[in-house]
Amino acid sequence: MGESAMEDGRVLYLDLMKKVLTNVIYADPAQAADWYDGSGYEPEKRENGLDWPTTAHTMVGLKRLDNLQFCVERVLMDEVPGDFVETGVWRGGASIFTRAVLQAHGITDRTVWLADSFQGMPETTDDSHPVDRYMALHKSNDQLAVSLEQVQANFRAYDLLDEQVRFLEGWFADTLPTAPIERIAVLRLDGDLYDSTMDALESLYPKVSPGGYVIVDDYVIPSCKEAVHDYRTRLAIDDEIVPIDASSAYWRRAA
């Protein structure tokens, strides 16, 4: 098979993976949430990651998967060292897609790490950020809590559960400080809350290689955004923050 045909195959495979992971093919309806009635399937919301799908394996939407593909393929092309880490994985779809990108490019020496409690969101306390207390996402754990076994089964459904996929089960404050991750090429933050975002940044950002990417799924949430800016200010990070869609953003760590 020629290189052109192989590239065509990669493009078709990864485009299909995005459509299947977001389930735009069968257009499953959204689940109801406090901020969304969950009625029907709306293509624009699914594209922009603005609903909680009933059966799709990711809620991040097509635009954020496009961004994830760009970041992963760019660090591969630029030979930026490190693994791929997602903090907050829900049904595992974004990490499944990352593993698919590695598979499509024949990469066998990098790991996809999934960090999650696998029991939903932590309960907020009186000391939590006011926005986090207001959102009280733990009240939606019936929709947000997905077990480790279910996420592993989702990987297995795509034939992508192997030794290049590793799981860190527990609260970020407990698992991330001692996680056996040496270097990170792409760090994807999806913890929603101030503390969850800060815990991930404090433990993992120092491991992000120059030229690596940090993706913030919940940048639209004021408490998450505040954690990002508090951390960046403390470390005098001035790399440009680039919007992905109305909810998310990313930056590339300067060399």
Kindly give, in sequence order, each residue whose CB lies less than 8 Å from that of residue 98, ignoring residues fewer than 6 positions away: 68, 72, 84, 86, 112, 186
Kindly give, in sequence order, each residue whose CB lies less than 8 Å from that of residue 181, ignoring residues fewer than 6 positions away: 83, 85, 113, 204, 207
In the DSSP assignment, the letter for residue 216 is: E
Residue 4: the pLDDT is 83
Tell me how crowded residue 56 is: count the other CB atoms within 10 A of its CB: 24
CA distance 161 to 142: 25
Residue 204: the pLDDT is 98
| Backbone CA torsion sign across 247, 34, 138, 112 | negative
Among residues 188, 251, 197, 184, which one has the least CA distance to residue 217?
188
Residue 161: the pLDDT is 98
In the DSSP assignment, the letter for residue 105 is: T
Q: What is the pLDDT along the chain (255 residues), one digit of tens a residue?
A: 677 888 889 999 999 999 999 999 999 999 876 655 666 899 999 999 999 899 999 999 999 999 999 999 999 999 999 999 999 999 999 999 999 999 999 999 999 999 999 987 777 777 777 766 666 667 665 777 899 999 999 999 999 999 999 999 999 999 999 999 999 999 999 988 899 999 999 999 999 999 999 999 999 999 999 999 999 999 999 999 999 999 999 999 997
Please indicate, yes or no, whether the overall pTM of this predicted structure exceeds 0.75: yes
